[in-house]
Chains A and B, each alone.
Chain A
Amino acid sequence: MAKLRGTGIAAVNYPTGMNLGGDPSQALIHATTTGTFVISLSSTDLGQGLKTVIAQIGAETLGVPFENVLIDTADTDTGPHCMGTFASRATHRVGNAVIMAAKEARKAMLEVAAEELEVSPDDLDTDGKGNIFVKGSPERKIDITSLALAAHFKYGRTISGRGMYIKPKSPVDPETGKMDPDSTEAHACVVAEVEVDTETGEVTVISLKSAYEVGRQVNPALVHGQIVGGAFMGMSHALYETTAPYYPSPDHAPGSFSEYIIPGPHELPHIESVVLEYPSVNGPYGVKGVGEMTANAPIPAIVNAVSNAIGVRLTEYPITPEKILRALEKSPKVKQLAENRS
């Protein structure tokens, strides 16, 4: 009986979204009478913070405060089309669509302001605090609420914009096989440290340390949240989760939600991460995407760490105690330990 320690490493290159052409998302923006910019989408926020980052991107492009932007994802039947929130695609695809829509809405906004301030739209700029002012004489300005009221009730105009993103198809060159297989790739490397109890077959993940390169971070706190949550989920897949029986008989399969094993707070390893930012050329403000990939690399890193600890390569996960105990029977390390004792 012993506790064996091991370290494993794994890396991932993650292509954002569905590729080879297509994968569209659309966005519509309109200002309400009081100057709230509503961004209508069918892109659902699953908790990753999409609404927050899209509002940030919209506000930045419009030139208005974050608080003036409202994300409406109420109805996927009636909203602008979106392929969905998956494959780490939403910030990249929807963000691009929102930038396009916001540019058009900003143009309409500056045109109305130009009429109110009696200047050319080219002479106007936004201060990001809710005002549009004349370049060079910032005291000549109009606030967004007054502007939106004027657009609606004086000029009979909308302040609105349309945007879309679609990935252009990239044909394969028949001579060379060359093509552009993805939009952009994020990268990560995870190092796992584990301890295996040779008596019970249980694995404790001691730490998951990672480096992520995800393009520009729109919201670093949300990126960190994805990395920590994803690391935990990856650990869960590596060691616990399965809908298949743990034992040869199907009777041992989880029959309901409460029998499906996932780890809890006691299994939380030490999680540490650094993030590198190499902006992408085609993402909104250089975004690549971070989401799904955070649960990917921890799995092989943990499996590699267990193999390193016990000296036997495991090829099937989740690595349950049963699988470990069977593997240990073949482990040279464990044989060595037994011989040392006798």
Chain B
Amino acid sequence: MPSRIVAFNLNGRDVEVMVKPLTTLQTVLREHLHLTATKSGCRQGGCGTCTVLVNGEPMLSCLLPVEDIAGQKVVTLEGITPIEGLHPIQQAFFDNYAIQCGYCSPGVIMVIKALLDRNPNPTRQEIMDAIAGNVCRCTGYEPILRAAEDAARRLQSA
């Protein structure tokens, strides 16, 4: 099947990409647009490190054909990172030692972002439910949960 142009909004800017059918959003982000904050862990929906926000909802970009999100709003970790400094969630991860190898971090941070956007003061249980699809091999999750709670406090007092 021939390639076609797909247009969508990425981190506040309109972009167009030329793709073969079923090309995933992950491939478009990493290989066409060279935005590599979105990681590639398993490419089969098992690890969560490829999570991005589509219209504010966390989605696994490795399972998402880019034509399915034509015309929609995509936000990646690059999109929430300020030019200088860090987003409060990123800062909370940094301050709570919630990043070791960092491979899970982009996905976890996007999931936490989506959670805090709709639920600014989540319980620990709600945070655990939100990140249940994100595999972290290094931290044992405890610092991630603390970072998420800390991020909620920072955003509320901001």
Contacts and interface: CB of A to CB of B under 8 A. Distances in A.
Interface in A252-274: 256-259, 262, 264-266, 268, 271
B140 interface: yes
Interface in B36-63: 41-42, 44-47
B101 A257 contact: no
Interface in A263-288: 264-266, 268, 271
A49 interface: yes
Interface string B118-129: 000000000110
Nearest to A227: B140
| Chain B contact residues, majority secondary structure | loop
Interface in A225-261: 225, 228-233, 256-259
B42 A257 contact: yes
B137 A257 contact: no
A127 B79 CA distance: 42
Given A221-B97, A225-B97, A258 B45 contact: yes
A48 B128 CA distance: 23
A225 B101 contact: no
B35 interface: no
Interface stretch (B1-9, B18-26, B83-91, B141-149): B141-149
B96 to A, nearest CB: 9
Most buried by B among A49, A221, A257, A262: A257
Interface string A27-55: 00000000000000000001111000000
A48 B139 CA distance: 10
Interface residues of B, number: 26
A47 B45 CA distance: 24
B114 interface: no
B71 interface: no
A222 interface: yes
Contacts of A258: 42, 44-47
A243 B156 CA distance: 44
A67 to B, nearest CB: 16
Given A47-B101, A225-B100, A265 B128 contact: yes
A47 B41 CA distance: 16
B101 A265 contact: no
Contact of A268 (B44, B46, B142): B142
Interface string A78-111: 0000000000000000000000000000000000
Interface of B: 41-42, 44-47, 97, 99-102, 127-128, 131-132, 134-135, 137-145
Interface of A: 46-49, 221-222, 224-225, 228-233, 256-259, 262, 264-266, 268, 271
- Closest CB pairs A-B (n = 9): A258-B46, A47-B101, A232-B140, A47-B100, A265-B128, A257-B42, A265-B141, A229-B140, A228-B140
